Amino acid sequence: MEIDDKIIQEEIEDHFELQTADQLQAISDPIRYRMILLLREKAMTGAQLSRALGLSRARAHYYLKTLVDSGLVRFRGDRLDNGLIGKYYRTIASYFSYDHLADRGYQMDPTDPEAIKIYKAINDFAITLLETSRSDMKVSEELARAYHFNLDTSLTEEQYKSILNEIRTIVNHLLAIKHENLHQHNQNAPLNFRTTILFTPIPKNLIQNK
């Protein structure tokens, strides 16, 4: 199928719930995660991704194939660009969540190989999020608009669930704003922000020793 600019810029689903540890592991690699960030904005070819990420075409296609095989990126069609046929790909959603996957892992025996696989994928993804956000930050006056917060605290199970629900509300609010601005082609939204939320358990002795 030959695609046009409308398909390249088409709207995609706001949210997709990851089903397997392999899917989460697929986006836990820094390069593949950067591909996700690019492909959630518009459809691109392997050659375009290689230029955007400074990779060889062979390496870019290797990482792209993993995302396609995981079901998180799909082929959208071909287009003739400068005499060459380009194959365009796009993420299936703007935001990927592993809530259900994490819940399943929490209910499993910690020694179960599948549970360990889930824990590792979550850990690797958290590290990739932090590394990606860190490398994208630049010293500028725009940082004065940022909001950074870090706090270690003990919580009851009920408090944990309450905070988690509040975080999900913030995420849904941001997704709604993004969808609204894209749908209305809002030219009055010139500020570009990235929200990285890391709400994670830490060893108890780190809190007790403070």
Does 58 share its domain with 121? yes
Q: Are residues 71 and 107 in the same domain?
A: yes
Whether 107 and 10 share a structural domain: yes
What contacts 24+ positions apart, CB below 8 Å, involve 3-9? 3/43, 3/76, 3/77, 3/78, 3/79, 3/88, 4/79, 7/43, 7/76, 7/77, 7/88, 8/42, 8/43, 8/76, 8/88, 8/90, 9/42, 9/43
Q: Do 58 and 126 reside in the same domain of the chain? A: yes
In this predicted structure, the answer to whether residue 182 has a pLDDT above a threshold of 80 is no
Measured CA to CA, the distance from residue 33 to residue 44 in angstroms comes to 15
Under the banding of pLDDT at 50, 70 and 90, the label for residue 210 is: very low
Confidence band of 207 (pLDDT split at 50, 70, 90): very low
User: In angstroms, rounded to a whole number, what is the distance separating the alpha carbons of residues 27 and 128?
Assistant: 9
* 123 and 176 both lie in a single domain: no
pLDDT at 8: 65
Least confident of 11-15, 70-74, 90-94, 183-187: 183-187
- The reply to whether 21 and 103 lie within a common domain is yes
Domain of residue 9, residue span:
1-135
Task: Give a yes or no: residue 140 inside a domain.
Answer: no
Whether residues 105 and 167 share a domain: the answer is: no
The answer to the question of residue 80 being in a domain is: yes
Contact (CB, 8 A) for 96 and 16? yes
Residue 157, token pair as written in the block: 């199970």
The gap from C-alpha 153 to its chain's centroid, in whole angstroms, comes to 26
Which pLDDT score, from 0 to 100, does residue 105 have?
Answer: 93
Residue 11: pLDDT above 80? no
Mean pLDDT computed over 102-110: 93
Question: What pLDDT score does 162 carry?
Answer: 96
48 shares its domain with 121: yes
CATH number for the domain spanning 125: value is 1.10.10.10
The encoded tokens of residue 185 equal 């082609």
Quick one: pLDDT at residue 78?
A: 87
60 is a domain residue: yes
In this structure, what token pair is assigned to residue 96? 């990927």
Averaged confidence pLDDT in the chain: 88
Residues 74 and 168 in one domain: no
- Do 101 and 184 lie in a common domain? no
What is the count of structural domains for the chain? Answer: 2
User: 12 or 58: whose pLDDT is higher?
Assistant: 58
Q: How, if at all, do strands 84-91 and 73-81 pair?
A: antiparallel
pLDDT number for residue 71: 96
The last residue of a domain, from among 76, 111, 135: 135
161 in the same domain as 129: no
pLDDT tens digits, 189-202: 778 888 888 888 88
From 54, 5, 6, 47, select the one nearest 30 (Cα to Cα): 54
> Same domain for 105 and 195?
no
pLDDT tens digit sequence for 133-177 = 888 877 788 888 888 888 999 999 999 999 999 999 998 899 888
- Token pair in block for residue 110: 């910690």
